[in-house]
Structure 1
């Protein structure tokens, strides 16, 4: 069969399965398995499953459940309550202070977690009712939580970066280092946007009236000591070359339990919730990994992957045009698909292309991650949108949530462009670290 016709059939069937509601993991696995069976028979199918299983049991992927466990222990232990109390006492009297502080808390959570749901759920339960009760505009309150939660995949540690590293052999430690400055920049852009809007539109984020003494403010800071020490420990041992990312993830998971115990929040019920949530999310991620590997290996065996790469590289255009088109494709896919699925589906196609064009695959991984931040909050299927709806007060509609995110999507797009124009923002820190 002609390769172009085969590729048209494959992607048409994939689109139909996804639109009919089939989970992306099983859609990819089914197409990969059926396509291989009809093309090479049972022996090809056995080879495909062996390859997909081997990819799914890679040592570096052990970091995924460990970082997820670290995130869930911190989420269920209720440390977000203490962090929000710090924000409330120190920033509550500023216009938009609670919204800006919420973004800051999300950034701290991102550095402790690696997934977006932890901060989104915690702030949706704690910060959203607090802001709304104090007269904050729904758009600002909802938008800052959605956008802040998405920082979890950019500020290290990041599950998406671990998956990207496994697919490309780029050092996960260097990816983590590359995400630090863009993550800080994006957090500051969110905070700056909120501050400017609330300064000129006073009704968006009214200043609080409750006053606290300096002693009362300082007393809350003890709640941030153990989370910051945990972040410094996990990232420090990686950047210094003392531990591999997988070993650092183990330290982080153990440290999260210790921090919860120190704060007297470690109970059997919370431990059980953390373990169950970790199991559910890990199983979902690994099914996507196995399904995507089966699909992409079928594309490679059938020649579709090579055909697409040659077609793109043969275009007589500037390499930056191709890079821009790839980023636009990621943005469109992000409106409809899960970021992990997008990563595993497209990386084998796009990374060889950008490498041949002379781009740094580590830098490209940071661009991809920033782009996928938009995927978490862009309608109609942004993951964070539905998470926040699940914990928001009953009077908050999906329309309210959809309308709240667009200014923050614009902020993310701005940072994406900045990272493209100034690659040093992503490559400087990795150039200083010791790789292990």
Structure 2
């Protein structure tokens, strides 16, 4: 009997041990990381669903557009001797780029909806003018008599041909030309339109004009194929993001929209004005503008989930100190339920923000969780002051997280300062506690 009493007393001592309670709380925190991870997967799934819907809408309207060209291509005969010693030839292509190119255009944005998702689309009106110098064949060791003059063509690269909704107007030396889809060779441009042309006389420039109405989505890029490339774009979109290899030399953004101008020299890129075959690639030199939208609900929700462990720890910390100070035993299941209450915040935030403004969704979700956990803590702690303390801690946490979410550039700094401040406050409050002397006894333990 004495042995049973000793065992029972030892078990009771362990159960009342602060160390045992802390270990239990740490295990509960690890368990709660599982639903937090599931919420992260849910956010990714919803975000992927949105991207699929946007992709579907864009595919019917027009994808992100990249405009390249015009480029003039001259096919010529390359003679050589075959294995039998007979003289034969193969067709090769010489490509040369404009001496100057000027692009002006307007972007007319619009937002299309499908269910709760939205896609940013645009209709652009573009005009391209400029000129080509007469090609220097001798520099490429090409004889003029070897050139197939009837096969000379000009081409303009368009990344998504489905965006062409009206006939493209084109002129070479003020003479209208008829454009066809596709390009005879993909040495320079992968997709686009082309037409057979006749060059100006030797020593004269070949001028060009292209006018097109092009649909697209999210962004429009240009490839600086000219020896001097100038692009001037304007739009009513108020939140542009200038991106790519070159930034605008001039830009103006206001409540009515934006206007931007780029100026790129051939010295700024890594390919020449003319070459043979597929020796050079031009795709990596694009620049342009994205119709930027503010951080969407999924990105914001993902950022909030990253603070899940901090919220769980601080909530458990509030319960733990209430347990230590008031000598109230709180069962691990009660800790676990409070932790689930914290994690529910993220599903509430995600689901509500898909239908309402994110700020409103944040307020509704945080208030719901604060009220829920405060009411629950009042029932288990049996102490109004302790439950109000839990409520105050949660309120400060959610208010602080909201502030961090608004300060995107300073989020890490503010988060680090906040954690440091909380750690300092906890160390200050608990500096005189004798942890070895504390036992988590029930109220009736003292009566026995």
The TM-score, its normalising length taken from structure 1, stands at 0.25
- Larger Rg computed on CA atoms: 2
Q: Which has the higher contact order (CA 8 A, sep 6+)?
A: 1
* Between structures 1 and 2, the one with greater strand share: 2
The TM-score, its normalising length taken from structure 2, stands at 0.24
* Between structures 1 and 2, the one with greater helix share: 1
